[in-house]
Chains A and B, each alone.
Chain A
Amino acid sequence: MTEPITTSASRVRQVEAIANGTVIDHIPPAMTLKVAALLTGTEDQVFIGANLRSSRMGRKGVVKISNREISPHEASCLALIAPTATVCIIRDFSVVTKQPVPVPERFDDVARCANPNCVTNHERWPTRFVVVRGPSEARSAAPIEVPLRVRCVYCERGFAAGELALLDR
């Protein structure tokens, strides 16, 4: 197990300390409530900090969820709407891991295609987006573009990840 990092723990405790659970930090301000909405579907306690001061990004959002780690589906959604966020796992008031949101190669049935004429908006069919890498796509070595860009595999349109609406689960 990783050694508790108590100093960074006190730094992320700007909203309400949680004993155990997950802190999603460095959320772009405009995405804070989207992230909160994503995580409030369950019975768990969720704490929201909006427009907090951040030395790294000016303003940021923080969302904390008690007593659980986020699911793979939630992580995938998070990567789409807040790819620059960090995910901290808290145990006994200490940060045990602090990592950037893992950005998958593709997003399956996570968001609605923003192209109104896309077939996925007219047929009952799961959506799929792939991450666009660099100017020459399809090269897995090329860096992920920030802000994150994705392409619908059906209509082949490219979108800024933030402009996509998440699907209801």
Chain B
Amino acid sequence: MRFAGRQVLSIADFTRDEIVHVLTVASQVEQRGRGALFSGKLMATLFFEPSTRTRLSFEAAMLHQGGQVMGFSDAASTSTKKGESLADTIRMVEQYVDVIVMRHPRDGAARLAAEVSRVPVINGGDGANQHPSQTFLDLYTIAKLFPALLTGDRQLTVAFAGDLKYGRTVHSLVSALCHFKVKILLTAPAGLELPQQYLDECAAAGLPVEIASGLPEAIAASDVLYMTRLQEERFPDPVEFDHIKASYRVNAAMLRSAKPELRILHPLPRINEIATDVDFTPHAHYFPQAGNGIPVRQALVGLVLGVL
């Protein structure tokens, strides 16, 4: 398994063994705490569209280990505005740094960048396509809560609720879970169901997939409930949107029927789909999930830099 110099573009590029290795290294890095692993290393954070959350997480991951960062946080401040091609921007930046983290509004931009770059490119989100470090941190969070994910001691039930059609994080996580023999439970408003392609992937991997009658059934039956945001622009009728929004909102009272070990995850930012009273229940796990982004991104950076 060789990671040094490797590009991190899509979760689909990684085998089960490679995914498990990243999670194992992340766990070691987390136990070790802050240090100087990335001392003398410079990361470029090229954010052609703003994503404060992802950028801060990568920057903190680097800084906590003595590395340095430079970059920009939206395209308005770059030469792209002057018509420079993406390939030329990458060819320039790669002269300065050891690793590039890139976020871009176009699907496939990270792979294009990786083709011209001699230093590793980590995809921090390319349009509607991929955001692999998010998928790694979602898997890390589940594995940390439920070691059975990796050992296979028992079959976990992972429920997905909300917009399953357009949710990039859901698609990548479902694909990645195909390596781990979990049971998948789905609940989505009509028209926002999980695309057939991902159901086919589950079937090919032998994963049982069930459609829940609604959020209450998903809450009662699952170990992990992965919530997503419903976006108003997907609903032409505002009245219908209000109605659906209400039925895909979890609150503390609904969690009385949950298993004690149920944990709720969310890629953040949440809007209304998780009531704030859930934050004070033991089921809330979306903020620790975001925190797991640090060791996971450190593991990815360290592995591609060849220092881990």
Contacts and interface: CB of A to CB of B under 8 A. Distances in A.
Interface of A: 115, 117-120, 122-125, 135-136, 152-158
B107 interface: yes
B87 A123 contact: yes
A156 B126 CA distance: 11
Interface in B238-266: none
Interface stretch (B127-135, B137-145, B219-227, B229-237): B127-135
A117 B128 contact: yes
A71 to B, nearest CB: 26
B104 to A, nearest CB: 7
Given A119-B86, A123-B86, A125-B112, A155 B129 contact: yes
Given A117-B128, A135-B200, A156-B129, A123 B85 contact: yes
Which of B105, B106, B197, B204 has the most chain A CB atoms closer than 10 A to its own CB? B106
Contacts of B104: 119
B112 A154 contact: yes
A26 B237 CA distance: 48
A155 B106 CA distance: 8
B125 to A, nearest CB: 13
Contact of A120 (B10, B108, B197, B200): B108
Which of B12, B112, B128 has the most chain A CB atoms closer than 10 A to its own CB? B112
A115 to B, nearest CB: 6
B107 A154 contact: yes
28 contacts: A115-B107, A117-B105, A117-B107, A117-B127, A118-B106, A118-B107, A119-B86, A119-B107, A119-B108, A119-B111, A119-B112, A119-B126, A120-B108, A120-B112, A122-B106, A123-B87, A123-B112, A124-B85, A125-B87, A135-B204, A153-B111, A154-B109, A154-B112, A155-B108, A155-B129, A156-B10, A156-B12, A156-B129
Interface in B88-133: 104-109, 111-112, 126-130
A158 B12 CA distance: 14
A152 B200 contact: no
Contacts of B87: 123, 125
A154 to B, nearest CB: 3
A123 B109 CA distance: 9
Contact of A119 (B12, B109, B204): B109
Given A117-B127, A125-B87, A156 B107 contact: yes
B11 to A, nearest CB: 11
B108 A156 contact: yes
Contacts of A125: 87, 112
Contacts of A118: 106-108
A147 B105 CA distance: 31
Contacts of B200: 135
A117 B197 contact: no
A154 B104 CA distance: 13
Contacts of B109: 119, 123, 154
B95 to A, nearest CB: 20
Nearest to A158: B197
Nearest to A152: B108
A115 B85 CA distance: 20
B1 to A, nearest CB: 18
B85 A157 contact: no
Contacts of A136: 204
A115 B129 CA distance: 11
